[in-house]
Chain A
Amino acid sequence: MIRAGLPDAAAPFVAFATLLRANGFAVAPEQTTAFLSAITLLGPRSLDHIRRAAHATLAPPPERREAFDALFDAHFLGAVELGRETAEPDPDDMRVQEDRPGGFEPPASDDINEAGQAATAAEALSSRRLSPADESDTLRRFQRALPEHLPQRRGYRRVAARRGPGLDLRRAMKEAIRNDGEVFRLPRLVRRLRRRPILLLIDVSGSMKARTDAHLRFAHALVRAADRIEVFTIGTRLTRVTRALQLKNRERALATASGLVSDWDGGTRIGDALQAFLAVPRFASAARGAVVLILSDGLERGDPKAMTDAVKRLAARAWHLSWMTPLAADPGYRPETAALKSILPHLDALADAGSTERLCHHVLTLAQPRAA
Chain B
Amino acid sequence: MVVRAKVAGIDSPEALAHALTSAFYLADDGLATAAYLALALGKPLLLEGAPGVGKTEAAKAISGVLGRRLIRLQCYEGIDAAAALYEWNYPRQMLAIRQAGDKPVDIYRDEFLIERPMLQALRSPDSAVLLLDEIDRSDHEFEALLLEFLSDFTISIPERGTLSGRERPVVILTSNRTRELHEALRRRCVYHFIAYPAPEREAQIIMLRASSVAEATARAVAAAVGRLRREPLAKPPGISEAVDWAEAATVLAKGGASWPDAFRRSIGVAIKDEEDNAHIAPRLDAIITGAAA
B139 & A59 in contact (Cβ 8 Å cutoff): no
Residue from B13, B30, B107 within 8 A of A42 (CB atoms)? B13
Q: A170-B88, A181-B97, A278-B232 are in contact. Are A59 and B186 (CB under 8 A)?
A: yes
What is the bound-complex CA distance between A57 and B107, given in angstroms? 44
A173 & B187 in contact (Cβ 8 Å cutoff): no
What residues of chain A lie closer than 8 Å to B97, measured between beta carbons? 176-177, 181
What residues of chain B lie closer than 8 Å to A173, measured between beta carbons? 88, 90, 93-94
What is the bound-complex CA distance between A53 and B3, given in angstroms? 15
Q: A53-B37, A282-B178 are in contact. Are A59 and B13 (CB under 8 A)?
A: no
Residue from A28, A34, A52, A57 within 8 A of B30 (CB atoms)? A52
A41 & B232 in contact (Cβ 8 Å cutoff): no
What is the bound-complex CA distance between A33 and B41, given in angstroms? 10
Of B54-62, B64-72, B188-196, the one contacting chain A is B188-196
Output the least CB separation between A308 and chain B (Å): 12
Is B179 engaged at the interface, CB distance under 8 Å to the other chain? yes
Q: A37-B1, A158-B78, A282-B177 are in contact. Are A62 and B193 (CB under 8 A)?
A: yes
Give residues 233-264 of B contacting A (CB, 8 Å): 233-234
Output the least CB separation between A130 and chain B (Å): 26
The number of chain B residues touching the other chain, given as a range, is 35 or more
User: Chain A's interface: helix, strand, loop or mixed, by majority?
Assistant: helix
Q: A158-B78, A313-B275 are in contact. Are A59 and B191 (CB under 8 A)?
A: yes
Output the least CB separation between A227 and chain B (Å): 9
Output the least CB separation between B116 and chain A (Å): 14
Scoring B37, B80, B139 by chain A CB atoms within 10 A of each residue's CB, the highest score goes to: B37
User: Chain B's interface: helix, strand, loop or mixed, by majority?
Assistant: mixed
What is the bound-complex CA distance between A186 and B265, given in angstroms? 58
CB closest residue in chain B, given A31: B187
Output the least CB separation between B41 and chain A (Å): 6
Output the least CB separation between B223 and chain A (Å): 20
Is B43 engaged at the interface, CB distance under 8 Å to the other chain? yes
Output the least CB separation between A336 and chain B (Å): 27
What string of 1s and 0s marks CB contacts (under 8 Å) between B157-191 and chain A? 00000000000000000001111000100111111
Q: A56-B37, A173-B90 are in contact. Are A155 and B178 (CB under 8 A)?
A: no
What residues of chain B lie closer than 8 Å to A65, measured between beta carbons? 193
Is B76 engaged at the interface, CB distance under 8 Å to the other chain? yes
Is B199 engaged at the interface, CB distance under 8 Å to the other chain? no
Q: A56-B192, A176-B94 are in contact. Are A157 and B77 (CB under 8 A)?
A: yes
Is B141 engaged at the interface, CB distance under 8 Å to the other chain? yes
Is B210 engaged at the interface, CB distance under 8 Å to the other chain? no
A34 & B234 in contact (Cβ 8 Å cutoff): no
What residues of chain A lie closer than 8 Å to B190, measured between beta carbons? 34, 56-57, 59
What residues of chain A lie closer than 8 Å to B77, measured between beta carbons? 155-157
What residues of chain B lie closer than 8 Å to A55, measured between beta carbons? 30, 33-34, 191-192
B176 & A281 in contact (Cβ 8 Å cutoff): yes
Give residues 275-313 of A contacting B (CB, 8 Å): 275-276, 278-279, 281-282, 284-286, 309, 313
How many residues in A have their beta carbons less than 8 Å from beta carbons of B?
46
What residues of chain B lie closer than 8 Å to A155, measured between beta carbons? 77-78, 139
What residues of chain A lie closer than 8 Å to B78, measured between beta carbons? 155-158, 191
Is A30 engaged at the interface, CB distance under 8 Å to the other chain? yes
What residues of chain B lie closer than 8 Å to A53, measured between beta carbons? 33, 37
Is A1 engaged at the interface, CB distance under 8 Å to the other chain? yes
Is B200 engaged at the interface, CB distance under 8 Å to the other chain? no
Residue from A41, A48, A156, A285 within 8 A of B178 (CB atoms)? A285
What residues of chain B lie closer than 8 Å to A285, measured between beta carbons? 178-179
Q: A37-B1, A169-B90 are in contact. Are A284 and B232 (CB under 8 A)?
A: no
Is B48 engaged at the interface, CB distance under 8 Å to the other chain? yes
What residues of chain B lie closer than 8 Å to A281, measured between beta carbons? 50-51, 176-178
Output the least CB separation between A61 and chain B (Å): 8
What is the bound-complex CA distance between A37 and B1, given in angstroms? 9
A172 & B90 in contact (Cβ 8 Å cutoff): yes
Residue from B40, B82, B233 within 8 A of A279 (CB atoms)? B233
What residues of chain B lie closer than 8 Å to A42, measured between beta carbons? 12-13, 33, 37
Is B5 engaged at the interface, CB distance under 8 Å to the other chain? yes
Q: A55-B34, A62-B48, A156-B78 are in contact. Are A313 and B93 (CB under 8 A)?
A: no
CB closest residue in chain A, given B273: A313
Residue from A1, A169, A282, A313 within 8 A of B234 (CB atoms)? A313
What residues of chain A lie closer than 8 Å to B98, measured between beta carbons? 181
Give residues 49-106 of A contacting B (CB, 8 Å): 49, 52-53, 55-57, 59, 62, 65
B76 & A37 in contact (Cβ 8 Å cutoff): no
Is B29 engaged at the interface, CB distance under 8 Å to the other chain? yes
Output the least CB separation between B83 and chain A (Å): 11
Q: A56-B38, A313-B234 are in contact. List 14 more A-B contacts (CB 8 A).
A: A34-B41, A41-B37, A41-B40, A42-B12, A52-B29, A155-B78, A156-B78, A170-B82, A173-B93, A181-B98, A279-B234, A281-B51, A282-B176, A282-B178
Across the A-B interface, give the 4 residue pairs with the lowest CB-CB distance, nearest first: A156-B78, A59-B191, A279-B232, A56-B34
Pick 30 A–B contacts, CB within 8 A, sort by A: A26-B187, A28-B187, A34-B37, A37-B41, A38-B37, A38-B40, A41-B40, A42-B37, A52-B30, A52-B34, A55-B33, A56-B38, A56-B190, A57-B37, A59-B187, A157-B77, A157-B78, A169-B90, A170-B88, A170-B90, A176-B94, A176-B97, A177-B97, A281-B50, A282-B176, A282-B177, A282-B179, A285-B179, A286-B179, A313-B275
Binding site for B on A (CB under 8 A): 1, 26, 28, 30-31, 33-34, 37-38, 40-42, 48-49, 52-53, 55-57, 59, 62, 65, 155-158, 169-170, 172-173, 176-177, 181, 183, 191, 275-276, 278-279, 281-282, 284-286, 309, 313
